[in-house]
């Protein structure tokens, strides 16, 4: 119960902070007004201990007792300022997040930048239950942390609010700030379990396809890691110095144009899942793939970026922006 109350208070405080400081851009430097600080439980015990020492010193009239008490009290106060300063001016940047399938954990790459002449120690990021760090950022350096967020549905998952916090030095205080960035990660529909074979649609339905295979040259595109080396346009490379990949219409296998109406009787999400599975299957089988959804169409094509485009179309199908 106290824990739930603490959570509620924190939520309330965070939304108050949001109203106060507004939404943040994707790169933000932490200003004085938005850094909050409170003693940790250990810090509270430390404070209580100093108070007990003060009472003892008063009672015994012990000057060295006072000296120790005041040295520790001074240390506590100084630590508070160092803790606050450890966060002050730090830069938080959103570097991006690789799309994942629903049910996987989205990883938001966040950079902790330090322009100051002194290192920043033990900075951690937390988002709900997930935490990243703590990490030390050297002077004029940058560290990248990955903040994981569990996904359940396709579409965009947002990093609505995360906390940047530090307990350095000595864990007596915790300085933190809430960051509200429009950082989002694309979530593809969870692919249906494999099993259902690819529909033999004959692609566009133009009848028997010519058996030209690789000879049916359709154009060039930039090569990406993982592309088969035999399709690299070496002559073009010799001319321009750019690695290009030869693309062929259709390829040696039949193209596969996936249509929304191929899966009657399935609910929207299940259809999208099955279409996602087919897109992946088609790519592994080396067939080019196209998508036709109500209101959206992806032309035939293949390669990782093409599959990503297909999956994105599926992910954002009739989804709120």
Partner 1 sequence: MTAAALRSRDLPVDTQRLLWTGAIVVAATAPHWASLVLWIPALLAAAVTWRVAVALCGWPMPWRALRLVLAFAAFCGVLFQYRTLNGVEAGSALLVVMVALKFLESQTQRDQLVLIMITYFLMFASVLTERGPLTAAYLVLLVWVTTVALLQLGRRGPLLPSGMTARLAGRLLLHALPITVVLFVLFPRLPGPLWAIPGSTSSGASGLNDTMSPGDITDLGLSDEVAFRVEFDSRPPRAGDLYWRGPSMTHFNGRTWSMLQGGRRGERVKDSTEYYGEPTQYRVMLEPNGRNWAFALDMAREWSGDRNLRMGSDYQLGTFFGGPSARRLDYEVTSFIDYSAREPLTENERNLFRNLPEDSSPRARALAASWVTDQPSPQQVIDRAMDYLRSQPFQYTLTPPALGAQPVDEFLFETREGFCEHYASALTVLLRAAGLPARVVTGYQGGELNGIGDYYIIRQSDAHAWTEVWLEDRGWIRVDAVAAVAPERVAIGSGRWSEARDTIAGAVLRNSWLRQTALLWDAVNTRWHAWVVGYGPELQRALLESLGITDLRRAERWAVLLGLTVAGSVGLLLALHLYLAWRQRRRAQVDPAARYFAAFVRHLTRLRVPPRAPGEGPQAYAVRASAVLPQAGAAISTIAALYLKARYEPDPERTALTELRACVAAFRPS
Taking CB under 8 A as the criterion, which residues in 129-148 touch partner 1?
Answer: 133-136, 140-142, 144
SS3 270: helix
Specify the pairing of strand 91-97 against strand 155-158: unpaired
Q: Do 99 and 312 touch, CB atoms closer than 8 A? A: yes
Which of 12, 16, 51, 60 touches partner 1 by CB under 8 A? 60
Q: Which is nearer to partner 1, 88 or 187 (CB)?
A: 88
Distance between CA atoms of residues 240 and 136, nearest Å: 44
Q: Tell me the DSSP string of 177-202.
A: EEE-B--EEEEEPPPPPTTSPPP---
Provide the token pair at 229: 């080396």
Of the candidates 184, 298, 321, 262, which has an alpha carbon nearest to the alpha carbon of residue 270? 262
Which of 18, 21, 36, 66 touches partner 1 by CB under 8 A? 66
3-state helix, strand, coil in the chain (%, to 5): 35, 30, 35
Q: Which is nearer to partner 1, 136 or 252 (CB)?
A: 136
35 belongs to the binding site for partner 1 (CB under 8 A): no
Q: Do 277 and 251 touch, CB atoms closer than 8 A? A: no
Consecutive H or E run containing 6 = helix 2-21
Q: Which is nearer to partner 1, 9 or 77 (CB)?
A: 77
61 belongs to the binding site for partner 1 (CB under 8 A): yes
47 belongs to the binding site for partner 1 (CB under 8 A): no
Partnered with residue 167 across adjacent β-strands are none
Provide the token pair at 117: 């002449």
Q: 70-99 mask for partner 1 (x: CB under 8 A)?
A: xxxxxx-xxx-xx--x--xx---x-x----
Query: CB-hemisphere CA count at 13 Å for 274?
Result: 20
117 belongs to the binding site for partner 1 (CB under 8 A): yes
317 belongs to the binding site for partner 1 (CB under 8 A): no
Residues comprising the chain, all counted: 321
Q: Which is nearer to partner 1, 29 or 297 (CB)?
A: 29
Q: Which is nearer to partner 1, 17 or 172 (CB)?
A: 172
Provide the token pair at 281: 């299957």
Provide the token pair at 18: 């949001």
Q: Which is nearer to partner 1, 116 or 296 (CB)?
A: 116
Residue 270 CB, nearest distance to partner 1 (Å)? Answer: 39
**How open is the CA angle 38-44-45, to the nearest 5 degrees?**
160
Provide the token pair at 63: 């000057």
Q: Which is nearer to partner 1, 6 or 26 (CB)?
A: 26
Which of 127, 168, 190, 246 touches partner 1 by CB under 8 A? 168
Q: Which stretch binds partner 1 (CB under 8 A): 13-21, 62-70, 224-232, 256-264?
A: 62-70
Which of 14, 37, 68, 198 touches partner 1 by CB under 8 A? 68
Residues that bind partner 1 (CB under 8 A): 42, 45-46, 49, 53, 55-56, 58-75, 77-79, 81-82, 85, 88-89, 93, 95, 111, 113, 115-118, 121-122, 124, 133-136, 140-142, 144, 167-172
């Amino acid at each position: 119960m106290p824990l739930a109350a603490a959570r509620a208070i924190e939520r309330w405080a965070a939304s108050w902070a949001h109203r106060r400081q507004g939404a943040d851009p994707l790169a933000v430097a932490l200003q004085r007004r938005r850094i909050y600080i409170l003693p940790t439980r250990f810090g509270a015990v430390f404070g209580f201990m100093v108070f007990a020492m003060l009472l003892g010193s008063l009672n015994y009239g012990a000057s060295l007792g006072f000296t120790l008490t005041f040295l520790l009290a001074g240390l506590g106060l100084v630590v508070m300022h160092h803790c606050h300063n450890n966060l002050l001016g730090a830069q938080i940047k959103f570097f991006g997040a690789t799309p994942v399938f629903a049910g996987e954990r989205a990883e938001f790459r966040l950079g902790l930048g330090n322009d100051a002449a002194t290192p920043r120690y033990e900075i951690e990021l937390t988002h709900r239950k997930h935490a990243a760090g703590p990490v030390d950022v050297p002077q004029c350096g940058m560290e990248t942390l990955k903040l994981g967020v569990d996904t359940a549905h396709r579409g965009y998952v947002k990093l609505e609010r995360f906390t940047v916090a530090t307990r350095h030095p000595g864990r007596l205080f915790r300085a933190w700030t809430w960051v509200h960035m429009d950082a989002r990660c694309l979530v593809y529909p969870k692919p249906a379990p494999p099993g259902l074979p690819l529909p033999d649609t004959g692609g566009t339905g133009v009848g028997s396809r010519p058996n030209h295979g690789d000879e049916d040259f359709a154009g060039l595109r930039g090569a990406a890691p993982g592309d088969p080396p035999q399709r690299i346009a070496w002559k073009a490379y010799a001319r321009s110095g750019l690695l290009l990949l030869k693309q062929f219409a259709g390829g040696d296998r039949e193209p596969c144009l996936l249509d929304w109406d191929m899966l009657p009787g399935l609910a929207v999400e299940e259809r999208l899942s099955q279409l996602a599975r087919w897109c992946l299957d088609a790519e592994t089988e080396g067939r080019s793939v196209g998508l036709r959804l109500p209101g959206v169409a992806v032309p035939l094509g293949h390669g990782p970026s093409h599959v990503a485009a297909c999956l994105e179309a599926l992910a954002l199908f009739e989804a709120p922006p």
